Amino acid sequence: MIRFPLVFDISRTHLLSKIKQTTVASLGVTFGIGTYIILMGFMTGLNGLLDGLILNRTPHIQVFNKTTPSEIQPVERFNKATTDLHYVHSVKPKARLERIHNALPLLSELRRHQQVKGATPQTTAKVFYLAGANKLNGVLNGIQVREEIRLFNFKDYITEGDVLSLVRRKNSILLGAGIAKNLSLSVGDRIQVMSTNGTTFSLLVSGIFQSGLAEVDDVQSYISLPMAQQILGAGRNHITRLHVKLFEMADAVPLARTIETLYDLRALDIKTANAQFDTGSDIRNLISYAVSITLLLVAGFGIYNILNMFIYEKMNDIAILKATGFTGTDVKWIFITQAMVIGLLGGTMGLIMGYGVSIFIDNLPFITEALPTIKTYPINYDPLVYISGVAFALTSTFLAGYLPARKAQQIDPVEIIRGQ
Partner 1 sequence: MLETRHIDKYFLEPVKFHVLKDINIELQKGEFVSIMGKSGCGKSTLLYILSTMDTAYEGELWIDGDKMSDLTQNELARIRNEKIGFVFQFHYLLPEFTVLKNVMLPALKLGREDVEGIRARAMEKLEILGVSDQANKKAYRISGGQKQRVSIARALINDPKIIMGDEPTGNLDSKNSENVFNILKTLCDSMGMSLLVVTHDIDFAERTDRIIEMGDGTIL
The window from 3-11, 60-68, 137-145, 354-362 that contacts partner 1 (CB under 8 A) reads 3-11
| Residue 342: C-alpha distances to residues 12, 299, 345, 395 (Å) | 11, 11, 5, 12
Q: Which is nearer to partner 1, 13 or 137 (CB)?
A: 13
Note whether 20 binds partner 1 by CB under 8 A. no
Task: Mark 387-416 with x for binding to partner 1 (rule: CB under 8 A) and - for no binding.
Answer: --------------------------xx--
**Minimum distance between the CB of residue 306 and partner 1, rounded to whole angstroms?**
17
Residue 14 contacts partner 1 per CB under 8 A:
yes
- Please report, as a single letter, which amino acid is at residue 80: K
* Distances from the Cα of 104 to the Cα of 125, 221, 228, 235, 246, angstroms: 18, 23, 16, 12, 19
- Give whichever of 216 and 320 is closer to partner 1, judged by the CB atom: 320
Contact pattern from residue 272 through residue 311 relative to partner 1, giving x for each residue in contact according to CB under 8 A and a dash for the rest: ----------------------------------------
What kind and span of H or E run contains 241?
Answer: strand 241-246
**Distance of closest approach, residue 54 Cβ to partner 1, in angstroms:** 60
> What is the spatial distance between Cα 338 and Cα 318, in angstroms, rounded to a whole number?
14
d(CA 53, CA 47): 10
Compare residues 404 and 413 and give the one whose CB is closer to partner 1: 413
Q: Please tell me whether residue 420 binds partner 1 under the rule CB under 8 A.
A: yes
- Mask: binding to partner 1, 308-347, rule CB under 8 A, as x and -? --------xx-xxxxxxxxxxxx-----------------
48/130 Cα distance (integer angstroms): 40
For residue 121, give every residue at least 6 positions away whose Cβ sits within 8 Å of its Cβ, in sequence order, or none.
Answer: 103, 104, 107, 144, 225, 239, 241, 242
Q: Using the rule CB under 8 A, is 255 a contact of partner 1?
A: no
* Contact of 343 with 350, CB cutoff 8 Å: no
d(CA 40, CA 53): 19
Output the smallest distance, CB 410 to partner 1, in A: 10
The nearer residue to partner 1, 42 or 326, going by C-beta atoms, is 326
Nearer to partner 1, 148 or 330 (CB): 330
Q: State the nearest-atom distance from the C-beta of 290 to partner 1, in Å.
A: 41
By CB atoms closer than 10 A (0-12, 13-18, 19+), residue 77 is exposed
Cα separation, 136 vs 182, whole angstroms = 10
Rounded CA-CA distance 261/249 in Å is 20
In the 3-class helix/strand/coil scheme, how is 99-112 assigned residue by residue? CCCCHHHHHHHHHH
| DSSP type of residue 376 | B
What's the min distance (Å) between Cβ of 403 and partner 1? 20
Taking the least distance from each CB to partner 1, the nearer of 131 and 320 is: 320
Q: Does 417 bind partner 1 (CB under 8 A)?
A: yes
Return d(Cα 391, Cα 343) in angstroms, integer.
Answer: 10
Interacting span for partner 1 (CB under 8 A) from 7-15, 123-131, 254-262, 347-355? 7-15
Residue 214 binds to partner 1 (criterion: CB under 8 A): no
Task: Supply the minimum distance, in Å, between the C-beta of residue 409 and partner 1.
Answer: 10
Catalog residues that contact partner 1 under the rule CB under 8 A: 1, 3, 6, 9-10, 13-14, 16-17, 316-317, 319-330, 413-414, 417-418, 420
